[in-house]
Structure 1
């Protein structure tokens, strides 16, 4: 069974527009009876932040829409629990880089006008550490732009956290981007660009480093939006990723889900989403022009971070490595003693991964860890 983590007191998307919530409820079949109280609190929060969203649109809407994205972003590709957050935090240490902040991701429609009111309120509801891996949580740290997209639109894979019984549909439509009409794709692209433009305003025009595991399955769409984007793919031992994913979802699903689902059914979704994402990436990575893609193994980044970062900068022709290196070293210093979670792996887990993800194990020449 899964149990809610007491540190997670806030639903991820309770600030998103009421119209989005109504669309989600209509599309995904409502909520479980015992979750109706949670839904009521979410809808009240959404309604209460409506004035801030209207004010932001009136005051900043035109400026954001007209903001050019002059420098192509750096896109971190990698499935969840593969080290994407660690790499993201590192790359934004470069003073020429910025990211979508956690604050913007949580309040994407009102982060410019609502900071004085919302930031202290949100900060009080966030844990100091991420419950799944003990990494720092801060409103100023970089965050997945997908969270901001989900806070503005029904067109996000992340809504499977609220509606887990619709997880397959959320993935196929909004990560794999299958079954969408041209108009729906255009609407998704517009939302993505809105998030990136607002982040560009907040960052003062610096190059953005963007990270969303969903992008692993939609490389052609990202290339259409940002033809000059630089891509860094990070991969981690799939056996470890599987155990880490199941640990994460047992912590973050209960406080966000509005529907009941058997864990075995949700576990099948975990297997399906990784399998399809990795197969899509392996097929699509050859679409990325030469000089715009490099690949990193998490295990190498963990053991020799500056060496791997220097290679990333060289492979992608990113400027000012010497200056950036000092900032990376400063970030890494206090974290040298950080210990990530260790997960026991039994033969049943290895057999499950081999049955569905063996192609990824072989593609990057991994081997099963010792069982125990």
Structure 2
């Protein structure tokens, strides 16, 4: 293995930066090893990838060290209750970010923000979540990535103070779909999907407990495409979680996901991975649907609320009102007016239009819709046209 990806060396760098050496539950280690090996032998990294990705792994280890140490120094943290979180599940590009940003403006809610997922210790005090030196530092990293690859901002702009995916935290357990999104690593993806993901969710809970322990509490609103592939681990960790499943036209979703992954991974590799991306992420969508259906059949006592992306795009606030009503949620003061104002202030395409074409990846709209015909009919998913998407 390349010295830059050697797990012992990466851990040593994290320890040197923090003065800490307890990484907690050792289940993270196999994922770190497998991912490093896949980066060397599968990802076909370019010079930037070889320079940029090892520090990303070290940064994940650094935050893990700090979280584990904080819990040791403040044992009351592990007694923090994460009560009935609202968890938005579904594939990348299914509307989970759109919905999460609306939920975030409700003062009763508490999202996982981008900066605090990477710099969790010390936990933020009230008034520190949206502004401050740590927010600014994390925003610098966002700006740098968008400078290196400007197309990312049009596809998925996420400021440091915006809600982020749970996978940002789960990546610190090295059992996460997040690492697949920045490099094409089939052996690593096959490994974590075959596991039970308990270590990742245990660590995820510890991070949430840490973040809320300084007094910034609220109803957690979370999101991740990972959850659809690990629902048993999710609800075993959060038995009272309220699940919201986003549904979107598989042809549009597949085209958008493939475009996103291609743009992100092309930052760190010059190889043409489009055939692999098309197969892998189409298979991931199918596997997500299969696992969700299997979960619903085995655990009917755990409600999953179905929400169509088309409805959310056409009537955002009305759809959120419906979600609140179905889940029995109380809205904070002025929540729906704030959502309406947020929607007006941040129109779709604010950072540029995202155009994509499934044919670029050797697919056709008709073939994708035919593959997912049962799913489309079961959930009455509205077809979109890639040249005139619903959210245009």
The reply on whether 1:131 has 2:134 as its aligned counterpart is no
Change in Cα spacing, 1:45 to 1:159, as seen in structure 2 (3 Å) is: closer
Change in Cα spacing, 1:295 to 1:140, as seen in structure 2 (3 Å) is: same
- CA RMSD, Structure 1 to Structure 2 (Å): 3.8
Within 2, Cα distance between the matches of 1:358 and 1:225? 33
Q: Judge conservation of contact 1:92–1:209 (CA < 8 Å) in 2.
A: yes
TM-superposition CA deviations, 1:20-42 (whole Å, max 9, x none) = 75552246654667636632444
| Residue of structure 2 in register with 1:233 after alignment | 245
| Residue of structure 1 in register with 2:179 after alignment | 159
| Residue of structure 2 in register with 1:255 after alignment | 267
Q: Judge conservation of contact 1:223–1:288 (CA < 8 Å) in 2.
A: no
Aligned residue among 364, 369, 373 for 1:349: 364
Within 1, Cα distance between the matches of 2:230 and 2:318? 29
Within 2, Cα distance between the matches of 1:111 and 1:199? 5
Aligned residue among 102, 106, 109 for 1:97: 109
Within 1, Cα distance between the matches of 2:82 and 2:43? 46
TM-superposition CA deviations, 1:302-351 (whole Å, max 9, x none) = 11122211111110000136632122122122235657645557795123
Q: Aligned-pair distance for 1:270?
A: 1.2
Q: Judge conservation of contact 1:161–1:256 (CA < 8 Å) in 2.
A: no
Change in Cα spacing, 1:105 to 1:256, as seen in structure 2 (3 Å) is: farther
Within 2, Cα distance between the matches of 1:185 and 1:53? 17
Q: Judge conservation of contact 1:220–1:284 (CA < 8 Å) in 2.
A: yes
SS at structure 2 position matched to 1:331: helix
Residues 39-118 of structure 1: pairs in structure 2 closer than 5 A: 39-43=50-54, 57-59=68-70, 61-63=72-74, 65-107=77-119, 115=134, 118=137
Change in Cα spacing, 1:160 to 1:52, as seen in structure 2 (3 Å) is: closer
Q: Judge conservation of contact 1:108–1:148 (CA < 8 Å) in 2.
A: no
Further displaced range: 39-48 or 239-248: 39-48
Within 2, Cα distance between the matches of 1:99 and 1:60? 21
| Residue of structure 1 in register with 2:23 after alignment | none
Q: Judge conservation of contact 2:42–2:185 (CA < 8 Å) in 1.
A: no
Q: Judge conservation of contact 2:123–2:212 (CA < 8 Å) in 1.
A: no
Within 1, Cα distance between the matches of 2:253 and 2:47? 33
Within 1, Cα distance between the matches of 2:358 and 2:329? 39
Q: Judge conservation of contact 1:82–1:236 (CA < 8 Å) in 2.
A: yes
Change in Cα spacing, 1:93 to 1:365, as seen in structure 2 (3 Å) is: same
TM score, norm. by length of structure 2: 0.74
How many residues of Structure 1 are paired with residues of Structure 2 in the alignment? Answer: 348
| Residue of structure 1 in register with 2:49 after alignment | 38
Aligned residue among 310, 314, 326 for 1:299: 310
Q: Judge conservation of contact 1:145–1:210 (CA < 8 Å) in 2.
A: yes
Q: Aligned-pair distance for 1:157?
A: 2.2
| Residue of structure 1 in register with 2:344 after alignment | 333
Question: Which residues of structure 1 form unaligned runs of 5+?
Answer: 1-13
Q: Aligned-pair distance for 1:364?
A: 2.2
Within 1, Cα distance between the matches of 2:305 and 2:87? 11
Q: Judge conservation of contact 2:245–2:307 (CA < 8 Å) in 1.
A: yes
TM-superposition CA deviations, 1:249-281 (whole Å, max 9, x none) = 221111245x95642122110111001101211
Within 2, Cα distance between the matches of 1:61 and 1:36? 39
Hey, which bits of structure 1, 4+ residues long, moved more than 6 A?
48-53, 109-114
Question: Which residues of structure 2 form unaligned runs of 5+?
Answer: 1-9, 16-28, 126-132, 388-392
TM score, norm. by length of structure 1: 0.78
Further displaced range: 85-94 or 60-69: 60-69
SS at structure 2 position matched to 1:127: helix
| Residue of structure 2 in register with 1:193 after alignment | 205
